[in-house]
């Protein structure tokens, strides 16, 4: 009987993900507050991405279908992809190079882009937002930085903007694991070409382990910032959140699960919550065998961290996550937030009806309850299982200490404290 109940519950989850993803009103746009993204009907959109960077040229259609369906079932709302292979003479699985003459941006190969069209179309049919990199410019195993120049950059932007301008679920990520450096103007020209042909599609930049705001924050074409950090994520997100003019920020890349660096599900949870409770409007999860589609990618799709990412969405989406402001000055959580790898970010809604605190380790934190707008119900959320444990009810006066009773279902020490003002 328990197995039947589990299967039924899982089926309902999959159906609910399908219903949510398939009804997104693309294209996305920046909210009036400039703090987050919204659909065309102004419904807030939680950017909850997976990094399948090399999918377009590494996978067949059947394999791409398998990947996309797996990610849909796990509740991801977006995927991040590179449009071009890394190397000049690399081809897709059908043997097609992206250019009729390798490296010649002026002569795209229709056969290559027809396959890319299929992948992007299928992703849209499954309800995904696709963050697409038009030309990855890293010097590490990528060749395009040697062929993109001021003579062809704007026309290349116009080509991809024209080809994919009707794909309302597509947005653009320039750069690629690299600071713009001597390709700063070329980047601006590609962005200009896309803006001229697909003005409704949002654009950002992926720098070298730092934020896009370091280089293009005041550029009109940069609609939102990409944070990228392998250390403590929250300082970079805090900095972008505080910049003027206001632009949304998301965590576009950090550690990958099982990427030969001993980073596993606990780290995936930590960086996601660090970002989301420090002012980000989204984040990207990644797995070491998936971003490059090694021989182990099918097994990698079901890694523990991938399953647990759904609990990030399950916690945030039913609540006013988009109205949360990070507690950077520690006026809500006044003690126990610590620092460095143990830092506990807190965020409070502007109406004072919700406070969320992510605690990466077990300790006592002290909350100033007067920062909430009424009597409060306190709950612990297990980020590894998505389950709740009631703590109790409290008045919104004085200071109250909170401490988890022990490790979570994953045997780790991270928890999320939810403080919600009760109706009535």
Q: What are phi and psi of 190, to 5 degrees?
A: -60, -45
pLDDT in tens, 20-40: 445 899 999 999 999 999 999
Mean pLDDT along residues 198-209: 98
Residue 165 to residue 158: CA distance in whole angstroms: 10
pLDDT in tens, 110-141: 999 999 999 999 999 999 999 999 999 998 87
Higher-scoring residue by pLDDT: 1, 288: 288
pLDDT for 11 equals 36
- In the chain, what are the helix, strand and coil shares in percent, each to the nearest 5? 30, 20, 45
pLDDT for 2 equals 31
pLDDT for 259 equals 85
CA 19 vs. chain centroid, Å, equals 20
Residue 228 to residue 208: CA distance in whole angstroms: 7
Full-model pTM: 0.94
Mean pLDDT along residues 195-203: 98
Confidence of residue 12 (pLDDT cuts 50, 70, 90): very low
DSSP 3-state assignment of 250? strand
Confidence of residue 142 (pLDDT cuts 50, 70, 90): confident
Q: What is the mean pLDDT of the chain?
A: 94
- Mention every residue, 6+ apart, whose C-beta is less than 8 A from residue 192: 154, 157, 221
Lowest mean pLDDT among 174-183, 295-304, 307-316, 415-424: 415-424
pLDDT for 141 equals 79
Q: Do domains 2-322 and 327-421 have the same CATH topology?
A: no
Residue 389 to residue 380: CA distance in whole angstroms: 5
pLDDT for 261 equals 66
Mean pLDDT along residues 172-178: 97
pLDDT for 424 equals 57
Residue 218 to residue 240: CA distance in whole angstroms: 12
Residue 49 to residue 16: CA distance in whole angstroms: 18
pLDDT for 22 equals 55
Q: What is the CATH number of domain 2-322?
A: 3.20.20.80
pLDDT in tens, 55-72: 999 999 999 999 999 999
CATH classification for the domain delimited by 327-421, as one of 1.10.1740, 1.10.1060, 2.60.40, 3.40.390: 2.60.40
pLDDT in tens, 304-332: 999 999 999 999 999 999 999 999 999 99
**Residues forming a β-bridge with 15:** none
Residues in the chain: 424
Higher-scoring residue by pLDDT: 248, 15: 248
Whether omega for the bond prior to residue 27 falls within 30 degrees of 0, making it cis, is: yes
- Please report, for the chain, the start and end positions of each structural domain, with discontinuous segments joined by +: 2-322, 327-421
């Amino acid at each position: 009987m328990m197995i039947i109940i589990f299967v039924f519950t899982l089926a309902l989850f999959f159906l609910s993900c399908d219903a949510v993803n398939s009804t997104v009103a693309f294209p996305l746009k920046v909210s009036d507050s400039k703090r987050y993204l919204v659909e065309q009907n102004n419904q807030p959109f939680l950017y909850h991405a997976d990094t399948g960077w090399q999918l377009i040229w590494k996978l067949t259609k059947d394999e791409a279908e398998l990947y996309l369906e797996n990610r849909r079932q796990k509740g991801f709302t977006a995927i991040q992809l590179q449009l071009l292979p890394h190397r000049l003479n690399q081809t897709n699985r059908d043997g097609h190079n992206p250019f009729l003459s390798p490296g010649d941006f002026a002569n795209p190969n229709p056969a290559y882009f027809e396959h890319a069209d299929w992948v992007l179309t299928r992703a849209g049919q499954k309800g995904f937002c696709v963050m697409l990199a038009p030309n990855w410019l890293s010097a590490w195993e990528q060749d395009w930085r040697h062929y993109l120049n001021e003579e062809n950059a704007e026309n290349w932007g116009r080509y991809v903007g024209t080809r994919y301008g009707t794909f309302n679920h597509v947005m653009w990520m320039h750069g690629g694991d690299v600071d713009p450096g001597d390709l700063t103007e070329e980047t601006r020209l590609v962005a200009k070409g896309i803006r001229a042909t697909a003005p409704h599609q949002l654009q950002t930049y992926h720098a070298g382990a730092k934020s896009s705001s370091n280089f293009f924050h005041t550029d009109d074409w940069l609609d939102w910032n990409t944070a990228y950090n392998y250390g403590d994520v929250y300082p970079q997100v805090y900095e972008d959140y505080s910049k003027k003019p206001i632009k949304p920020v998301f965590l576009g890349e950090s550690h990958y699960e099982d990427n030969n660096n001993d980073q596993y599900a606990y780290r995936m949870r930590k960086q996601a919550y660090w970002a989301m409770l420090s002012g980000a409007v989204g984040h990207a999860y990644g797995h070491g065998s998936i971003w490059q589609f090694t021989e182990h990618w099918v097994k990698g799709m079901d890694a523990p961290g991938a399953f647990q990412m759904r609990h990030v969405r399950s916690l945030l989406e039913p609540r006013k996550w988009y109205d949360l402001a990070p507690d950077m000055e520690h006026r809500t959580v006044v003690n126990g937030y610590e620092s460095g790898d143990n830092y506990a970010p807190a965020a409070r809604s502007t109406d004072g009806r919700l406070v969320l605190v992510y605690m990466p380790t077990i300790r006592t934190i002290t909350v100033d309850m007067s920062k909430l707008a009424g009597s409060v119900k306190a709950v612990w959320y297990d980020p590894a299982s998505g389950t709740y444990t009631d703590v109790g009810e409290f008045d919104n006066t004085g200071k109250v200490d909170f401490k988890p009773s022990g490790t979570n279902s994953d045997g780790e020490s991270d928890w999320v404290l939810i403080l919600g003002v009760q109706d009535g």
